[in-house]
Amino acid sequence: MMLIKIGGGEEIDLEAVITDLAAQEQPFLLVHGANVLRDRLAERLGMEKTVLTSLSGYSSVFSDEDAIDVIMMSYAGLRNKRIVELCQRQGINAVGLTGLDGRLVQGERNKGIRVRENGKTLIKRDLSGKPRAVNTALLSLLLEQGYCPVLTIPIADERGFAINSENDDIVAQIASQLPLETVLQLIEAPGFLDDPEDETSLVANMSLAELQQREARVEGRIKRKLLALTRLCQGGKTRVIIADGRVDKPITGALAGAGTHIA
Amino acid sequence: MMLIKIGGGEEIDLEAVITDLAAQEQPFLLVHGANVLRDRLAERLGMEKTVLTSLSGYSSVFSDEDAIDVIMMSYAGLRNKRIVELCQRQGINAVGLTGLDGRLVQGERNKGIRVRENGKTLIKRDLSGKPRAVNTALLSLLLEQGYCPVLTIPIADERGFAINSENDDIVAQIASQLPLETVLQLIEAPGFLDDPEDETSLVANMSLAELQQREARVEGRIKRKLLALTRLCQGGKTRVIIADGRVDKPITGALAGAGTHIA
C-alpha cells in the first residue's frame, strides 16, 4: 500500500498528480495540505493568523475558533472536495475525510504555550494537538471496498472537538498503524535539497543514518521535518520518497527514481 | 431507520438538534443545508450569486465554478464539519460526506436555461443537476458499522464533476433507495403553516390526499416543496414530519407529535 502526501503549495499540479495516480495500481491513500489556500482565504475574510512567541523563543500559529473555521473551509471544504472531484473524474473512487469523520485521527490537545504579556506569564491554550491514534478499521474498510481515502485536517481531540495538527505527524501516525510500503511526499522542489536555495543540489539517495546525521546538524522547522521523516522510515520498514509535485507524471517519475529516496 | 434533514437557516439550533439526536436510537442519517452560511460567505468574498430568468419566466441561481467553490467551503467544509464535530462531542460517530465522496449521490447535469440576451436566445448551462442514484452500498456499510452519515452538496455529475443540487431531491432519492421509516425535516417554523405569515396556523396532520390537493392549488417555490414531499411519502411507505428546528429537544418533540405529520 502507498500513501501519497500532497503539499499545500500553489505550484503543485493537482491535475497532473491525480491523472498519474489513476494509472497506478491500487490501493493507495492520500493526505493533503492547503496552507496557501488557507492563508489566502483568511486574508480575504480578514481572519489573519495570530502568531505567538513562547517564553522559550519558539513561534507558533495560535489556532482559535476562527482559525478552525478557516481550516474547515479551505482544507476540509474547497481543497479536499476539489481533489475528490479530480479523482472521480479520473475513475478513482475517492472518499474525502477529515480526522473528525469517524474519529479517523484522534489527537491529544496541546497543553498550551507559555507567553509573557504585560509583565505576566500566561498559558495560552489553543485548538491544536498531536495525533495519537488512527481509526484503522474505517480506513481498512474503505480500502478493502475499493475506495481511496483522501485525508486532511482538522482532527478530533479527546472530547471530539476539532483541532489543528501537523500533516507530517498525521502521516507518521498512519504509517505506524497501517502496512505502508511507500510514503511519497509531493512538494514544490525536486526533492530534498542539500542547499534549500539551489534546485540543482538534489540529494538523490539518503540512508537512514545520513538522515539522522542531518537532523542532528540543523535547527528550526527543517529539524522538525527531518525528525518526522526519521520516524516515518521506521528503521527502514517504509520506503520514503520526496519528489516534485509540479511536474508531469510525478508519481510514475518518483517510483522510477526521481526525487530523494530514503531507505 | 430515520433520516433527519436539517435546514440551512441560521435560527436552527444545531447544538439542541445534535444533543437530542444523541438520545435517539440508531440508526439514522443526516442531510443538511447551509444556505445562509453560503450567502454570507459569498458576500464576504465578493462572489455573490448570479440569478438568471429563463424565457418561461422561471428564476434560478446560476451555479458557476465560483458558486461551487463557495458550496464546497460552506456546505462541505464549515457546516458539515461543525455538525460532525457536534456529533463527535455527543458520542455519535458521524462521518461527513458530500455526494462526490464515493459517488454517494450521482446526478444528471441540467441541460441549460434558455435566456434572452441582447436580442438573442442563448442556452446557458451551469454546474447543477438532479440526483439520479445513491451509493446505497457505501451508506449501508457505514450504517452497519455504527457510523452516522452526514450528507450535503455538492453531488457528482455523470463524469464526476461537482454540481449543485436541491436537498429536497437528494432526500427523495435516498428515501426511494433505503428503507426509511421516518423522514424528519427540521425547519425555521413550527411545521407546515396554512398561512406562511402566521406561526399559529400550524397544520398538525395532513393526509397524502390533502398534500396533493394543496400542491395543485399553489405556484412557485412552495409548489416544488410540496411536490418533493408527495414523492417523499411514497404513497404512505414513509412517515414524513416537518418540525421546528429552533426549539429544545426538537427530535423527541417531533416524534411525540409536534409539527406537521404527513402519512
pLDDT digits (tens, 9 = 90+) for A217-262: 888 777 878 888 888 987 778 999 999 999 999 999 999 999 999 9
Measured in residues, chain A has a length of 263
What is the mean predicted confidence (pLDDT) over B96-117? 94
Confidence check: pLDDT of A58 > 80 = no
**Residue A100 corresponds to which amino acid?**
L
Whether A69 sits inside 8 A of B89 (CB atoms) is: no
CA distance B162 to A82: 8
What residue has cell string 493537482? Answer: A14
Question: Does B192 reach chain A within 8 Å, measured CB to CB?
Answer: no
Mean pLDDT of B214-241: 85
Mutate which: B78, B106, B161, vs A, most A CBs within 10 A: B78
Average pLDDT over residues B177-188: 94
Q: What is the pLDDT of residue A234?
A: 75
Read off the pTM.
Answer: 0.96
Alpha helices in B146-234 (DSSP H): 167-177, 208-217, 221-233
Question: Does the structure show a pLDDT above 80 at A19?
Answer: yes
For residues B121, B127, B131, B134, the Cα torsion angle rounded to the nearest 10 degrees is 160
C-alpha–C-alpha distance, residues B207 and B224, integer Å: 18
Indicate the residue of B73, B94, B100 with minimum beta-carbon distance to A84. Answer: B100
Q: Is A16 exposed, middle or buried (0-12, 13-18, 19+ CB in 10 A)?
A: middle
CA B86, A76, B72, B141 dihedral sign is negative
Q: Which residues on chain A are in Cβ contact (under 8 Å) with B89? A: 159-161
Note the pLDDT tens digit of each residue in A111-164.
Answer: 988 888 888 999 999 999 999 999 999 999 999 999 999 999 999 999 999 999
Residue A103 at interface with chain B, using a CB cutoff of 8 Å:
yes
3-state helix, strand, coil in chain A (%, to 5): 35, 30, 35
pLDDT of residue B9: 93
pLDDT of residue A57: 79
- Greatest mean pLDDT range, A1-15, A212-226, A234-248, B204-218: A1-15
Distance, in Å, from the CA atom of B252 to the CA atom of B258, rounded to the nearest integer, reads 9
Query: How many whole angstroms separate alpha carbon A88 and alpha carbon A254?
Result: 23
Instruction: Using alpha carbons, select from B161, B189, B182, B199 the residue that is nearest to residue B262.
Output: B182
Residue B182 is predicted with a pLDDT of 95
Mean pLDDT of A94-114: 96
Residue B221 pLDDT exceeds 80: no
Give the integer Cα–Cα distance in Å for A243 and A174. 20
User: B77 and A82 in contact by Cβ < 8 A?
Assistant: no
Residue numbers in A near B102 (CB within 8 A):
93-95, 147
For residue B196, the model assigns a pLDDT of 86
Number of helices (H), then strands (E), belonging to chain B: the values are 9, 16
Q: Is A100 on the interface with B (CB under 8 A)?
A: yes
ipTM of the complex: 0.95
Tell me the chain B residues in contact with residue A82 when contact means C-beta distances shorter than 8 Å.
72, 162
Does residue B93 belong to the interface with chain A, where contact is any CB pair within 8 Å? yes
Average pLDDT, stretch B110-128? 90
SS3 B142: helix
- In this prediction, residue A227 carries a pLDDT of 86
Is residue B38 pLDDT above 90, yes or no?
Answer: yes
Closest residue by Cα to residue A162 from A215, A199, A122, A107:
A107
Average pLDDT, chain B: 93
Q: Do B147 and A138 touch (CB under 8 A)?
A: yes
Q: Is the pLDDT of residue B58 over 80?
A: no
Angle between helices A80-89 and A14-21 (to 10 degrees): 50
Mean pLDDT, residues B146-175: 96
Where does chain A have alpha helices with state H? 14-21, 35-44, 65-71, 80-89, 136-144, 167-177, 208-217, 221-233, 250-255
